[in-house]
Amino acid sequence: MKTKPAGNSRITLATLLLTGVATLGLSGTSHAGCVAAKWSAAPQAAPAPGAAMSNALGNFIKVSDRDSGRTIVGLWKFQMISKSTPTHANPMPDGTLIDFGTAAWHADGTELQTSGIRNPSDGDVCQGVWQRVGDGTFVLNHYALAWTNGTYTGPVNIRARVTVDRSGNHYSGWFATVVYLASPVAGHEFDQNTVLASITGSFTATRVTLQ
């Protein structure tokens, strides 16, 4: 894995991506190191880029929005806030708003986010896939395609683990995001060899209802 030292112009770009972008994609890294971590330890360590979650994605569990009060299926207003871990220091202070917006989790195991912090001209919609791994607990593998001032800069991978509360109207958990440098050249659009920056933090949401 290639990483760029602090002070490099690409790190400046990464900071712009993470603070102004970040319809995040989850797969964290710890500075120059790649340390795999189980999602149960998400508050302590970000998972390595490309590493499997503790509950590896397999066949999706289809969940009707009628079969459980703790289903993830539905429309949510979400917020993502930066928070470093003992093994991962974020490039911005804890408490920084990384992204907010709406997210639709679908019963077929797909998820769609619209970012409220990104300029639509730079792309504010991104997608992911999810799986239920426990009662009210879900994991997400999400990809955004980062554009800055009209130039494609690479994929952003966000991985998250969240739990829907007993009311069924709120969820909370952790995310880990990594920003990669890629190229619009054919065959290199999704390169995940060069890490620009990574970020971890808390992920919360409130369900949108008819009331």
Contact 31, 49 (CB under 8 A): no
Q: Two tokens at 45? A: 């360590």
Mean pLDDT, residues 187-202 taken together: 95
Domain 2-29+73-207, CATH: 2.40.128.80
Model confidence pLDDT, tens digit, residues 80-109: 999 999 999 999 999 999 999 999 999 999
In contact, 178 and 191? CB cutoff 8 Å:
no
C-alpha dist (Å) from residue 139 to 3, 5, 88, 118, 142: 27, 31, 20, 24, 10
pLDDT at 211: 85
Tell me how crowded residue 161 is: count the other CB atoms within 10 A of its CB: 24
10 pLDDT band, cuts 50/70/90, is: very low
Q: Which residue has the higher pLDDT, 5 or 184?
A: 184
Q: How far apart are the first and last CA of the chain?
A: 49
Which of 59-73, 98-112, 173-187 is predicted least confidently?
Answer: 59-73
Q: How many residues does the chain have?
A: 211
The pair of structure tokens assigned to 52 is: 């499997």
The answer to whether the CB of 201 falls within 8 A of the CB of 15 is: no
With cut-offs at 50, 70 and 90, classify the pLDDT of residue 144: very high
pTM: 0.72
pLDDT of residue 68: 60
d(CA 147, CA 163): 31
Q: What is the pLDDT of residues 11-48, one digit of tens each?
A: 344 444 444 433 333 333 222 222 222 333 333 334 44
